[in-house]
Structure 1
């Protein structure tokens, strides 16, 4: 049976790679993004449905459901990233600028997942999966971005308890350093790359395949008893016990 999959932030990075993975499995995939040109281009390249939607905008998210089918099997909240696209006004005080930056981080990395999940939650079938992309930044040196990702994990725990009785799982994948994305916006240096790789136990950066295969597993029959968890995928750069 063909599964229906919704992926926010699906035009680049982890979101795009996840969309390609599910599309290869013949799922009916919907991706969202803020910019019409990149949504249209990516949807065409991957053979999926594209929906222009800013996941931080309640009005746009409310309209998202109308573009989907009656049921949904998998939701991947991949929208997010470092804040900075909406700078504070030039005459803003230091505290006003700080507020803008923190609100942007929370909107992009927490509220986007909360709003999207709430908008489609009633469409989930029993056996459905909600997977949100977190970050190792939630554990250390993360600033406003890390704080938002830590809040994402806390929200996931309560969401899991809410949807679990309906047979729906909800988990966060906490990603470490992943090569092959534009997360650092061209600011990655050889020195920083080496330092991040050195922190891992297996002495390599993460790959998009590492993330997409973990997402795919959490949406599989083999993961039906895994819920409310934060799964760390970082090569041992951060460990749990």
Structure 2
């Protein structure tokens, strides 16, 4: 048997990142779990037989250390680290929060790709970013988050053109409503009641495991198959602003 295929998942300490690490491990990948919360990723790595690397994607030193850990070959990069902060209108926007979102969701994603690109080329690998339908349609209170996810979409479109003659696939997954363990809670500054209200009456929002399954599908396509962009919503969500709620 040959060496195990190697995957890196950033933001692996919770939510979609953690579910993706578990799913890729189940598919036979050795997974490098990268995130800021060392205790969580060490526990996850022990569970799935992977490796834990403490990594803040906004830190150049951390990104360099991640690249050193990866070495010369990388089959899959899931650039998942990011998230939303706040729902204020532009008139009341807290720009420190916007800067944090841009640093993690955009610069952090680009830095991760840049550092690991040589290893991905060597292995004929695949880059997968976790975008959002928020990057496709803006809504009130979403200018900051919609802006960063639109930037991720533009990043991936440009990257695909730049790498058109290279043996690397460039893929973007854009989830709709996902009920993960922390996304809404972080966005709403820890207000559990408001976070739960986001999903009120929605019979079956997506789960973080659904997105992990989707990542595994994209990651395991034949080398000549590139899933440019994959939009995934729950059936109850016809569009960003049109959601079926009961009760």
- Scaled by the length of structure 1, the TM-score of the pair is 0.83
String of CA shifts for 1:25-78, please: whole Å, max 9, x gaps: 221110111122222222222221000010011222122111113200100011
Q: What is the alpha-carbon distance in structure 1 between the residues aligned to residue 223 and residue 232 of structure 2?
A: 16
Residue in structure 2 matched with residue 115 of structure 1 by the alignment:
111
For the 8 Å contact 1:65–1:119, the answer to whether it is kept is yes
> 1:136, CA displacement in angstroms?
1.9
String of CA shifts for 1:201-230, please: whole Å, max 9, x gaps: xx6311223211211111123473325x33
- The ranges of structure 1 where at least 4 consecutive aligned residues each deviate by more than 4 angstroms after the TM superposition are none
Aligned with 1:165: secondary structure? coil
Residue in structure 1 matched with residue 188 of structure 2 by the alignment:
none
Aligned with 2:78: secondary structure? strand
The structure-2 alpha-carbon separation of the partners of 1:209 and 1:38, relative to structure 1 and needing over 3 Å to count, comes to: closer
CA RMSD, Structure 1 to Structure 2 (Å): 2.3
Q: Which runs of 5+ in 1 are unaligned?
A: 85-93, 198-202
Which residue of the other structure, out of 128, 133, 136, is the alignment partner of 2:133? 136
> 1:127, CA displacement in angstroms?
3.4
Q: Which runs of 5+ in 2 are unaligned?
A: 186-191, 240-247
- Scaled by the length of structure 2, the TM-score of the pair is 0.81
The structure-2 alpha-carbon separation of the partners of 1:238 and 1:157, relative to structure 1 and needing over 3 Å to count, comes to: farther
Residue in structure 2 matched with residue 173 of structure 1 by the alignment:
173
Report matched runs for 1:1-241 at 5 Å.
Answer: 1=2, 2-83=4-85, 98-124=94-120, 125-138=122-135, 139-141=137-139, 142-185=142-185, 186=192, 187-190=194-197, 192-194=198-200, 197=202, 204-222=204-222, 224-227=224-227, 229-235=228-234, 237=237
Q: What is the alpha-carbon distance in structure 2 between the residues aligned to residue 238 and residue 164 of structure 1?
A: 33
